Structure 1
Amino acid sequence: MAKPLLEFTDRGIYCEQGRFYIDPWKPVDDAVITHAHADHAYVGHKRYLAHHLSKEVLYYRLGEISLQTVEYGETVMKNGVEICLFPAGHVIGSAQIRISYKGEVWVVSGDYKTQEDGVSTPFEPVACQHFISECTFGMPVYQWKEQAQIFNDINSWWYSNQQQGLLTVISGYSLGKAQRILQNLDLSIGPVFTHGVIENTNEALRRNGVVLNPTTRITADTPKDEVRKGIILAPPSAIGTPWIRKFAPFSFGYCSGWMALRGAKRRRAADRGFVLSDHADWDGLMSAIDATGCEKVYLTHGYTASFTRYLNEIGFDAREVHTLYGEEEEEETHPNLPNNTPSKSPPKGETLTENGKPSDRQVSPLGEDLGGVK
């Protein structure tokens, strides 16, 4: 029996013929990266390959790495194996990786969503025989509303707070959710002020040519009266810290797919919870898998056990695989985490300082910021 083109190893997803790994979590020579989130892009590899729009964020997070970047649809050959990147729709620069050799075709999804967000390049299904997919929200209860409806609610809440003289703070992860929120806020209501962690990422994306709405970094010298005229965009790790408490009183909103579950808003001590995720919902997962026409499905993280059973029951050939991908953008509100589970540390250079200026461009030690590891 011929060996499969891709294998699941203790270092990551490996292509022996091409001698490269996809999103490896231990140091390797050649790493192909789906996107720049910390549970998929680790420090320590000799060479990296990623999408062009991940370039500056990867440099910011990982330092002066040896990085090759390509556009969507551009082909790279490694030892006779063809590699091509396609849009994943997860965050800016996220990609599905198509690997083909002698007629055998695999697609590694990384993280993805099928709902267009107006920020990321929209998801594009890719035909393959083997599809390696996430299933962060692989349960029927997770059904996302139209994005326009969610942001109508967010902007109405912001406007109402402003009319009451109350500052608004909204939380979103520094890469992906923050830019999605930023680009869909109604700026006629007021200006957007950012925590340094988010502004560092915004600056990296702007260096990459991404056009974002105007923001103002909050520093020790920023007048509080000025901030109160707008909205603060902060990372989840800033909530409950002295940095954010100095702006009290304020109304705090949390954006996450887990807000679809009763009690999630209370656990995050949020005044408002908005169901906004950068991962596919149930319908998105089903449509994406079906559109590939694949013969086999491999589920890497999320509700892997139950989703695998369901897919097998309806006629797919599905299996659960264990990886170290940890739903970086969602894990702090994961309903299975106990209330006293500590939040993972941000990458070095994303510490919660007043100015938010990075002291260096190195991520945390391997494994330190995973969360949700199986």
Structure 2
Amino acid sequence: MKPDDLVVVRPEGLYCPHGDFHIDPWRGVPRAVITHAHADHARGGSQHYWAAARGHALLRERLGKQAQITPLAYGETVRFGAVTVSLHSAGHILGSAQVRIAHDDGRVWGVSGDFKRDRDPSCDAFEPFACDTWITEATFALPIYRWTDTREVAAEIFDWWQAAKRDGQSAVLFCYSLGKAQRVLAELTAFTDETVYVHGAMPGLIKAYRAAGIRMLPTEAVSNIPKGTSFAGKLVLAPPGASGTPWMKRMHPYSTGFASGWMRVRGGKRRLAYDRGFVLSDHADWDSLLATIDDTGARRVLVTHGHGDALIAHLTARGIEASMLATQFEGEGGAAADGEAEAVDSAAAD
């Protein structure tokens, strides 16, 4: 870091000293700008929050009714000290945002939060903007991580579900409760209008997406279905933390699947003991990370969590100043960054 940087690391998290606010702080602070509602980015305890209006209901679900939240439309500006801040769609989940910080002296920084560039009917598309310094996530920053078109993955999920139906099994798809579950429900509208059954961690989040106008398959909470009812032939969505718990007894006999970018790695499906793995990520892949850096025009890139070394080496070879920006989540292998912390925390909700 440099003495006059617009964003630095403090014990509470990323901090803008020129505006006296934090971004996604992991401890309570007076002023917090939140990029999205996943548990590793949106924590309680702060006095006041600013976040994208599209994700306001989700943030309420996360932080509670008493939290002081100021919703901002994408592109709307707010002044903090010597900087003007605006939020821009990150394409990660509903209401996710990048943070643009413009100093009165003309410098512009961008903080990506978690983001993706791929098509997603469950959230707004990524909106690039120019900046001098770009702080980027690097969850999947290796050349092996290149995503298949989501419509093809959705077709694979549907075909697996139909195969389970023919075999008299339920199809239990493990996916993160916020973002991934809603994306699956939205993508599958191209194939069916059948009701999908969901774990108790999901209905409130799904309701918030419906209120935002996102079209998804009809859903029913498993907890609303009488005990002893067979789920044979049904698609059931559950957070990863529900795998191997007594809750699964209701699904027997079943076939299991997991939807995650981590399924791109050979052997991942066997390691996680799922019958099927579907490569579906809400983060940018290698090509999208590089394309986004090009779009920003940034000559300096700071990398947070994930596979930072590979990205830094690649950018340095291209003549771009690049380095790590260490955060609390370094070394967690990306699990928290992809929403698994949120899913595991809520796994006992049903």
Q: State TM-score, norm by structure 1.
A: 0.86
1:365 matched to which residue of 2?
A: none
Q: CA 1:330 to 1:226, structure 2 compared with 1: closer, same or farther past 3 Å?
A: farther
Report the CA distance between 1:97 and its aligned residue.
Answer: 0.5
State the 1:304 CA deviation: 1.1
Equivalent in the alignment of 1:109: 112
Q: CA deviation at 1:212?
A: 3.6
1:173 equivalent in structure 2: 176
Provide the rounded CA distance (Å) in 2 between the counterparts of 1:79 and 1:16: 9
Instruction: Say whether residues 1:128 and 2:124 are aligned partners.
Output: no
> Structure 1 residues 193, 328: closer, same or farther in 2, change over 3 A?
farther
Indicate how the Cα distance of structure 1 residues 176 and 333 shifts in structure 2: closer, same or farther if over 3 A, else same.
closer
CA distance in 1, matches of 2:312, 2:141: 9
Residue 86 of structure 2, aligned match among 77, 84, 89:
84
Compute the displacement of 1:221 (Å).
4.1
The within-5 A match list for 1:226-237 is: 227-237=231-241
Q: 1:16 corresponds to which letter in structure 2?
A: P
Q: Secondary structure at the match of 2:251?
A: coil
Whether the 8 Å contact between 2:161 and 2:233 is mirrored in structure 1 is: no
Judged with a 3 Å threshold, the aligned counterparts in structure 2 of structure 1 residues 36 and 333 are, in CA distance, closer, same or farther, namely closer
Could you say which residue in structure 1 is the equivalent of 2:260? 256
3-state SS, counterpart of residue 197 of structure 1: coil
How far apart in 2 are the matches of 1:143 and 1:39? 24
RMSD: 2.4
How far is 1:295 from its partner?
Answer: 1.4
Could you say what secondary structure the match of 2:85 adopts? strand
Structure 1 gaps, min length 5: 335-342, 355-374
Distance in 1, matches of 2:299 and 2:171, equals 48
The aligned runs of 1:44-59 (5 Å cut-off) are: 44-59=45-60
- Letter aligned with residue 76 of structure 2: E
- What are the residue-to-residue correspondences of 1:1-374 with 2, within 5 Å? 3-63=4-64, 64-102=66-104, 103-186=106-189, 188=192, 190-219=194-223, 221-222=225-226, 224-225=228-229, 227-325=231-329, 331=335, 350=346, 352-354=348-350
Task: Tell me, in whole angstroms, the C-alpha distance in 2 between the residues paired with 1:327 and 1:192.
Answer: 36
Q: Kindly tell me: are residues 199 and 329 of structure 1, through their superposed partners in 2, closer, same or farther at Cα, counting changes over 3 Å? A: farther
Matched length: 345
Percent identity, please.
40
Deviation at 1:229, TM superposition (A): 4.0
Residues 91/329 of structure 1: CA separation in 2 closer, same or farther (3 Å cut): farther
Aligned residue in 2 for 1:339 = none
Q: Which residue identity does 2:137 align to in structure 1? A: E
C-alpha separation in 2, matches of 1:327 and 1:174: 23
- The Cα shift of 1:225 comes to 3.9
